[in-house]
Amino acid sequence: MAPAFLPTLQPAADAAPRTCALNACRAGTRATVVDIECSGDEACRLRALGLCEGAAVNVIDARDAMLLEVRGTRLALGSALTAGITVRPASPRA
């Protein structure tokens, strides 16, 4: 009889980190902006405020609008806008 081995559920070290829409993040989440999909004017304004690809974002509040901290500044964005921003949440610290 062959020994029974249980499969591990740990992702491979080279697995791509998961991404999600910013509006799916909860308060207290830290994430990195991966992509911004919105109108040209909105994208230009967000980038001027410091919210651009590669920027670190802290979600302070995620109720009606999202309150974010980006590069030392707090921004409030509506859910329609945050739905078009893709982020990579930081791994929880062990």
Q: Which residues of 59-81 are buried (b: 16+ CB within 10 A; e: fewer)?
A: beebeeebbbebeeeebebeeeb
Under the banding of pLDDT at 50, 70 and 90, the label for residue 64 is confident
Within a 10 A sphere around the Cβ of 40, how many other Cβ atoms?
Answer: 7
Q: Is the residue at 55 inside a domain?
A: yes
DSSP letters, 48-72, are HTT--TT-EEEEEEESSSEEEEETT
Mean residue pLDDT across the chain: 85
Per-residue pLDDT tens digits for 39-58: 889 999 999 999 999 999 99
Per-residue pLDDT tens digits for 2-43: 555 555 555 555 455 699 999 999 999 999 999 999 988 999
Q: Is the residue at 66 inside a domain?
A: yes
Q: Is the residue at 81 inside a domain?
A: yes
| pLDDT at residue 68 is higher than 90 | yes
Total domains, the chain? 1
| pLDDT of 5 | 59
Name the pTM for this structure.
0.76
Q: Is the residue at 74 inside a domain?
A: yes
**Residue 81 sits in a domain of what CATH number?**
2.30.30.90
Cα separation, 51 vs 70, in Å, equals 7
Cα separation, 48 vs 65, in Å, equals 20
